[in-house]
Amino acid sequence: MTNVLVTGGAGFIGYHLSNLLLRKGFNVTVLDNFSDYYSVKMKQLNAQELEEAGTKIIHGSILDPESVNKALSNEIEIVFHFAAQPGVRYSTANPEKSLRINIEGTSQVLTICNKKKIKKVVVASSSSVFGLQEYLPIDELHPKNPISYYGVSKLTVEKIVEITRRLYPEIDISIIRPFTVIGARQRPDMAINTFLSSALQGKTINIFGDGTQTRDWTHVDNIVEATYLMGTMPNARNEDFNIGSGIRTSVNDVLKLISDETKTELKIKYVDFDKADVKDTLANITKAEQILKYKPQKSLLIAIRAFIDDYLKNRSTFTQ
Ligand SMILES: NC(=O)c1ccc[n+]([C@@H]2O[C@H](COP(=O)([O-])OP(=O)(O)OC[C@H]3O[C@@H](n4cnc5c(N)ncnc54)[C@H](O)[C@@H]3O)[C@@H](O)[C@H]2O)c1
């Protein structure tokens, strides 16, 4: 059985990725510090479920060399590095935290991976590295001019990967740039989560801007499938991939879907557009389709339904 490490495995994407890897028959270890950026209980629930399914959970920070060394001591062959301080808006208020965790943390993980002669690493970057779009859909060659501290932290992560590839060619590092990920157990700070949880609780939904902004909302199952392919397919060696659904939908259209699905009249308040937010995103997934044979199988609507279903089952945990 192949031993793999998922950093950030107690979080939203890491939880779904770890589950997929378990289903594929891997021996999964998770390194996570259960950061209090959002409900620690929510992460504990994720970790508990993973542990019951056979995952080894290590409680520790990617900033702490001892924890990273411990996590990589298990004859790990593939590392999926998803631990991070996410959140564009959070990074406006707390730039030092986003920069430190994402940049120093990734540098630490890659340095120790290199020392331990790990064969393959998949690093989570973000579509935020692109900043304001110069054209749509956004391919891997689109200029990278981030407009948030979070975007800068991820662009620096990509630069660290490039340097590591150059200095240590024996390590194979691929970069995934997910476009707005949605589904069950989505982070509470993310738009669809706040829209849906407010709708389900009858609260007012604040929309930044006029709601005409569009996103490539991507079901988390599509993202983790692409991540798995990147970690296991030999032709993904040292490649970067933009991963989305390849479809963009406006915030106003998403609100309509949510109103239909929750059968509620939404209370909406339009507030000023956030300067750290981009207007539109849409992934060009041609490279992933060609090299990885990636096919986004699950739609925005399926992700919304999965979120509602899980939210209603686990509401007491998720609202804390
Ligand atoms: N969710 C999205 O739409 C999206 C889009 C693009 C990129 N990403 C990237 O994907 C990754 C996962 O995002 P997510 O949405 O699942 O976020 P998340 O916050 O749910 O997951 C991140 C996990 O990392 C852990 N973590 C934070 N700091 C840590 C540290 N110092 N040491 C160890 N663990 C630490 C957290 O406890 C959490 O469990 C991140 O790298 C994020 O930047 C996410």
- pLDDT one-digit tens code per residue, 27-70: 999 999 999 999 999 999 999 999 999 999 999 999 999 999 99
CA of 10 to the centre of ligand 1 (A): 9
CA of 295 to the centre of ligand 1 (A): 24
pLDDT at 318 over 90: no
Q: Write the pLDDT tens digit of every residue in 285-296.
A: 999 999 999 999
pLDDT at 17 over 50: yes
Q: Whose CA is nearest to atom 7 of ligand 1?
A: 126
Separation CA 94–CA 88 (nearest Å)? 10
Pocket test for ligand 1, best of 15, 32, 94 (most atoms within 8 A of CB): 32
Look at strands 172-178 and 120-124 and give their pairing: parallel
Separation CA 222–CA 299 (nearest Å)? 9
Pocket test for ligand 1, best of 5, 7, 13 (most atoms within 8 A of CB): 13
Residues lining ligand 1, Cβ inside 6 A? 8, 10-14, 31-35, 37, 43, 61-63, 82-86, 101, 105, 124, 126, 178, 180-181, 187
- pTM, to two decimals: 0.97
What would the mean pLDDT of 3-23 be, rounded to a whole number? 98
Q: Write the pLDDT tens digit of every residue in 165-195.
A: 999 999 999 999 999 999 999 999 999 999 9
Q: So what's the pLDDT on residue 317?
A: 60
Give yes or no for a cis peptide into 137 (omega within 30° of 0): yes
Q: Write the pLDDT tens digit of every residue in 231-280.
A: 999 999 999 999 999 999 999 999 999 999 999 999 999 999 888 889 99
Domain membership of residue 245 as a residue range: 3-318
Residue 111, domain CATH:
3.40.50.720
Q: Helices (DSSP H) in the chain: which residue ranges?
A: 12-23, 40-52, 65-71, 88-93, 95-99, 105-115, 149-167, 191-201, 220-232, 251-262, 286-291, 300-313, 315-318
Whether residue 294 contacts residue 229, with contact meaning beta carbons closer than 8 Å, is answered with yes
Whether residue 123 contacts residue 160, with contact meaning beta carbons closer than 8 Å, is answered with no
**Cα angle 316-319-320, degrees, rounded to a multiple of 5:** 95
Average pLDDT, the chain: 96
CA of 11 to the centre of ligand 1 (A): 6
Q: Whose CA is nearest to atom 1 of ligand 1?
A: 181
Q: So what's the pLDDT on residue 320?
A: 44
pLDDT at 112 over 70: yes
Q: Whose CA is nearest to atom 20 of ligand 1?
A: 11
| Number of Cβ within a 10 Å radius of residue 274 | 13
* Domains: count for the chain: 1
Pocket test for ligand 1, best of 15, 19, 35 (most atoms within 8 A of CB): 35
